[in-house]
A and B are shown apart, each in its own frame.
Chain A
């Protein structure tokens, strides 16, 4: 089946540092989504991307939909302790095939 390669697997950073993570796919997606998940909770939607090349921000978060439609990155600027969690990228073909294919996640740890 389709797979998303998400990297890095984990990150340990100092509070205030910037973070970057990315996802690549062997196939094209129509939509890229980024989620954050806390332990035992449901994934929370951070950013949705719909067009190749699109760059979207949500507060300290910025994400881009790659030109080839096979990749996306998420940047977090000036990290804070509450940024701790697992970040998942997810791709969708949209429409009746709107189910998401998830990356393996990036576990972010922030040292105060």
Chain B
């Protein structure tokens, strides 16, 4: 079965640079979530989109923005990168009514 696809899997950036992560949800899933997971930490919710509209917002820094496109894929844009932004970034998708979130393999961002 098709899963959530994230790209790139690994990304290395310098401080103050910009990064963009992409997420392709499971087909027919209408909701996308972004999570950030630091080393040894649990995933922290950043932001979610339902039917291309922002549905909920968590601990997403103002330097980050995200959107969901007409084909339901989503992009997380991160600007003015800081060392503390180094983490695994996960995208998850669901059918809103199901409550079951399915996660991608993640994108590992390293900021040097």
Contacts and interface: CB of A to CB of B under 8 A. Distances in A.
A12 to B, nearest CB: 17
9 contacts: A44-B103, A48-B99, A95-B97, A98-B31, A98-B33, A98-B99, A99-B33, A99-B45, A100-B33
Interface string B99-110: 111111110100
Nearest to B101: A100
Interface extent on B, as a size class?
A: 20 to 34
A43 B90 contact: yes
Interface of A: 30-31, 33, 35, 40-45, 48, 50, 88, 90, 92, 94-105
Contact of A104 (B42, B56, B96): B42
B42 A103 contact: yes
Contacts of B94: 98
Interface of B: 4, 31, 33, 42-45, 48, 50, 55-56, 58, 88, 90, 94, 96-97, 99-106, 108
A43 B103 contact: yes
Contacts of A98: 31, 33, 48, 55-56, 94, 96, 99, 101
Contacts of B108: 40
A42 B103 contact: yes
Contacts of A48: 99-100
B92 to A, nearest CB: 8
A41 B105 contact: yes
Most chain A Cβ neighbours within 10 Å, of B43, B44, B90: B43
A7 to B, nearest CB: 14
A96 B50 CA distance: 8
Given A98-B48, A98-B94, A30 B103 contact: no
A100 B97 CA distance: 14
Contact of A105 (B42, B45, B58, B90): B42
